[in-house]
Amino acid sequence: MGAGVFADEQLEVLELVRSLARERIAPRAAAIDASHEFPWDIVELFREHELFALLFDERYGGTGTGTLLMLATIEEIAKACATSALILTVQELGALALKLAGTEEQRERYLPQLASGERLAAYALTEAGSGSDSAAMLTRAVRDGDDYVLDGQKRFITNAGVAGLYTVFAKTDPAAGHGGITCFLVEAEMPGFEVLRLEPKMGISGSTTGELSFDGVRVPVANRIGAEGEGFRIAMRVLDRSRPGVAAQALGIAQGATDYALEYARTRETMGKPIGEHELIAAKLADMETQCEAARGLLYRFGQLVDSGVEEAALTKPSAQAKLFCSDVAMRVTTDAVQILGGYGYIREYPVERMMRDAKITQIYEGTNEIQRLVIAREMLRAATSRASA
């Protein structure tokens, strides 16, 4: 997909991204996976070619080219390396609270550093006992003069230790449930902030996933995003906009695996012909490609909705649908790609086993797919109720 969806200037950007992915990122993907080290060279590549700028408005140093192009860029990079694509996905995730609910002063202070890639961002909502259930968080923020004092821990935070700016959610009123959560910007240099440990994991191995500790961290009131108690609402607005970034990562993984399996099926012969000509393999390839195209339809529709300026409330369902469908497709398609390669599919030398491991997280983070289904059904019921009472 490309012509008809993108304007000529957008296609030029995508062509550049495609060639970077092919020539600079794909050759690094296996080593990034094996080393479990954060790929600073890829961050440098993104800085050099101003890819971080694709996420931001012109007045903050961005390109102002919109959401659809950003999603297609993440997709292209994920075809080659899911860890590298996640660098852009999380830069957007970590910046969104500022973009959507920050004051002009806060935006001017931080967004240009994120648009250049000088600072990486992170989003810290999850805790040990609070993943799907955000209201159960324990991290506290207590007002003290011109500061808030933050105490607590966050778990499974992407970009832990490499980010310079963390969007952190903490309770200012523990008795108030969702309504007691407030959003803050925490700089990595603030005293009392520490990364306790990084988690070894199944996939996206070059990305850091860590435990953050806040031990009496003094955060100026000027770094509070929105009002006290508005944090949960901000967190959900952010996720409505960021989940399609995960969908784009998932779709890229799925298409990358499909492309690899196709080439393999074209050249590997059994019983006197390429395996792609055996009907059972041909059917798998057809299903893989069709699922990717269908996923792309949902993803690009979301990008077009944002770029056309629809009201925020209209984004919740299509965002969850894109995340749910693209990530389920990624898991199915990468599993089939491994099957098409037979024994070679299971071996580290071939990229599809990495793609299958990388695909799994897209069904889990930024809200598990069970939670996406709950969100979609809730939106359906809400719309049906309002139609019935109209």
Ligand X SMILES: Cc1cc2nc3c(=O)[nH]c(=O)nc-3n(C[C@H](O)[C@H](O)[C@H](O)COP(=O)(O)OP(=O)(O)OC[C@H]3O[C@@H](n4cnc5c(N)ncnc54)[C@H](O)[C@@H]3O)c2cc1C
Q: Which residues are catalytic?
A: 366
How many CA atoms are closer than 13 Å to the CA of 81, on its beta-carbon side? Answer: 27
Least separation in angstroms between residue 292's CB and ligand X is: 23
From the list 209, 223, 316, 321, which residue makes contact with ligand X (rule: CB under 6 A)?
209
Please provide residue 201's backbone torsions phi and psi, each rounded to the nearest 5 degrees: -150, 175
Q: Does 339 bind ligand X (CB under 6 A)?
A: no
From the list 370, 380, 381, 383, which residue makes contact with ligand X (rule: CB under 6 A)?
370
Enumerate residues 41-80 that contact ligand X by CB under 6 A. none
Enumerate residues 155-184 that contact ligand X by CB under 6 A. 156-158
For residues 264 and 343, is the Cβ–Cβ distance under 8 A? Answer: no
Enumerate residues 93-132 that contact ligand X by CB under 6 A. 123-126, 131-132
From the list 38, 52, 56, 365, which residue makes contact with ligand X (rule: CB under 6 A)?
365
The four Cα atoms 7, 9, 10, 13 give a dihedral, to 10 degrees, of 160
The closest of 18, 3, 363, 345 to 203, measured between CA atoms, is: 363
**DSSP state string for 42-84:** HHHHHHHTT-GGGGS-GGGTS----HHHHHHHHHHHHHH-HHH
**DSSP state string for 327-341:** HHHHHHHHHHHHHHT
Count of Cβ atoms closer than 10 Å to residue 61 Cβ: 17
Q: Closer to ligand X at the Cβ: 68 or 239?
A: 239
Least separation in angstroms between residue 368's CB and ligand X is: 3
Q: Does 367 bind ligand X (CB under 6 A)?
A: yes
Stretch touching ligand X by CB under 6 A, among 19-27, 141-149, 154-162, 288-296: 154-162
Q: Closer to ligand X at the Cβ: 20 or 127?
A: 127
From the list 201, 218, 233, 301, which residue makes contact with ligand X (rule: CB under 6 A)?
201
Q: How far apart are CA 165 and CA 163, in angstroms?
A: 6
Least separation in angstroms between residue 169's CB and ligand X is: 8
Site residues, ligand X (CB under 6 A): 123-126, 131-132, 156-158, 201, 209, 361, 364-368, 370-371, 374
